[in-house]
Structure 1
Amino acid sequence: MVYHVEDVMGTAVTIEITDPLPAATLAGLVERTCAWLHEVDRRFSTYREDSEISRLDRGELSLADCSPDTRAVLDACEALRRETGGTFDARAAGRLDPSGYVKGWSVEVASARLARAGALNHCVNAGGDVRGRGRPEPGRDWRVGIRHPWEPDRSAWVVAGTDFAVATSGTYERGPHVIDPHSGEPARALRSVTVTGPDLGLADAYATAALAMGMDGLLWLARLADSGSGYESAAITNDGHAYTSGGLPVAPDDPTADPPAAPEPEPAAART
């Protein structure tokens, strides 16, 4: 068993492997996983002037000259743009930025590589985008707390599973930063959107798209759950109402299955 924390992609990524593998094997798996995540950061970061994405956006690099991974990610983003009616758009903010897909995709790839290498029981958590496989120990599921958007020391829900992805997009940390490409304005109606399902890249993109849709995102998420695709969801509106799809894998003993509403605003006379 090994537990490692890596600072990469602007967040803390935790890698937990619970298979009883030799220490040297576990160390090698962690090292290769971290190397992959740093490679993704170098290639896709919009904060690095020399990344492929930045160079492609400035016209200094053609798509044909990009790596196969970059072309595959941009193809996936285009497919998601069509699937979401243009709401998931890698150019919504005016420049090329596939971040709404890349982080989840990179962790999904890392998890698949760990499984192929014999680590069948592991969990990789990249700042709340989580991919779990197998179990943390026999008879126990992986449990992932979905942060309460007004009370950072509490969970709104706890979801559990043995082979699933969990992605959350929200405004509670970075403010309204997800752009609705149809209006060109930051989306504000939803405070938090979580999507669970079989693939973390898609779950990450779906959560971002629903947040960008605002209140229309609630109906879109319901239709996604009803489609039989395996993606379930939870959302909290900016005024404190909570919604979940019927198949959300909430932990059976989760005491926060009905998250409290947003704090009531103080009366004007009480404000200073």
Structure 2
Amino acid sequence: MGTAISLQISDPLPESRLHELADDVFDWLRAVDRRFSTYLEDSEVNRFDRGELSVGECSADLRTVIDACASLWRTTDGYFDAYATGRFDPSGYVKGWSVQVASDRLLAAGSGSHWINAGGDIRARGGPAPGQPWRMGVRHPEQADKICWVLTGHDFAIATSGTYERGHHVIDPHTGRPATALRSVTVVGADLGLADAYATAGLAMGRGGLRWLAALPGYEVGVINADLEGFCSAGFPALPDDDPAG
């Protein structure tokens, strides 16, 4: 997955059951890493990229991701492009998708209160205690020891695409050059795979994508531009008095 992953389960379950649920989450995420890692020579995604596997020979998971990437390419006017780097790399969707699946599996197994955090991409359900919402911080794009927003809620996905860890790594597929106009894009909604892809597309669009981001049905956005000015949509679930530039 290329990042640290943390899990909290708050359901009042026996310790042995909590361990079983946690093991299932991390077993799934390790399997995703083996299948989709662009750094492992023999991963399935690399074999597909080299033409060693046809779509029909791919696993059901890889076919799901291929179809999702094709749909997102159309939805984002080509700004989410799994081939933006010249090879098939669906990482901008896979991380969020895999965590969403892990959360769905936890819910089906009886855990209604949990969160999974994969390098700032978060899927949360329920709360830390009955009636209490989760409070999740979004890292400041320039100062690692600060946050720009605190988001709160009971059932949401949070995805952030930014330049603070990997530099200007997101490519504008229409120009072939790194996208530099925005420092971070945070998308909040129901599905982490889509939120992750929308955040990546929004970063690639730059300032011209702010209207598109704000109009996403069912999703809210917070953006920090290159001048460290913050913007957010009307329903963005941030606590009041947050200062994005602070």
Tell me by how many angstroms 1:260 deviates: 2.1
Mapped partners of 1:146, 1:32: distance in 2 = 27
Match of 1:120 among 108, 112, 119: 112
Tell me by how many angstroms 1:104 deviates: 0.2
1:259 aligns with 2:244: yes
Match of 1:68 among 60, 63, 66: 60
Q: 1:77-226, aligned counterparts within 5 Å?
A: 77-224=69-216
What is the aligned-residue RMSD (CA, Å)? Answer: 0.9
Q: What amino acid maps onto 2:96 in structure 1?
A: G
Tell me by how many angstroms 1:241 deviates: 1.4
2:215 match: secondary structure: helix
5+ residue gaps, structure 1, are: 1-8, 262-272
Q: What amino acid maps onto 1:12 in structure 2?
A: A
2:219 corresponding residue in structure 1: 231
1:150 match: secondary structure: coil
Moved over 4 A (4+): none
Q: What amino acid maps onto 2:231 in structure 1?
A: Y
Highest RCO, 1 vs 2 (Cα 8 Å, sep ≥ 6): 2
Tell me by how many angstroms 1:177 deviates: 0.3
Mapped partners of 2:239, 2:57: distance in 1 = 46
Tell me how many residue pairs correspond in the alignment.
246
Mapped partners of 1:106, 1:260: distance in 2 = 31
Q: What amino acid maps onto 2:245 in structure 1?
A: P
1:39 aligns with 2:39: no
1:1-28 per-residue CA deviation (whole Å, 9 max, x = no partner) reads: xxxxxxxx11111110000111111111
Range that drifts further, 189-198 or 140-149: 140-149
2:6 match: secondary structure: strand
In the superposition, the TM-score normalised over structure 2's length comes to 0.98
1:4 corresponding residue in structure 2: none
5+ residue gaps, structure 2, are: none
1:3 corresponding residue in structure 2: none
Q: What amino acid maps onto 1:72 in structure 2?
A: T
Mapped partners of 1:218, 1:125: distance in 2 = 26
Mapped partners of 1:150, 1:204: distance in 2 = 20
1:131 match: secondary structure: strand
Tell me by how many angstroms 1:217 deviates: 1.7
Mapped partners of 1:98, 1:247: distance in 2 = 29
Larger radius of gyration: 1
In the superposition, the TM-score normalised over structure 1's length comes to 0.89
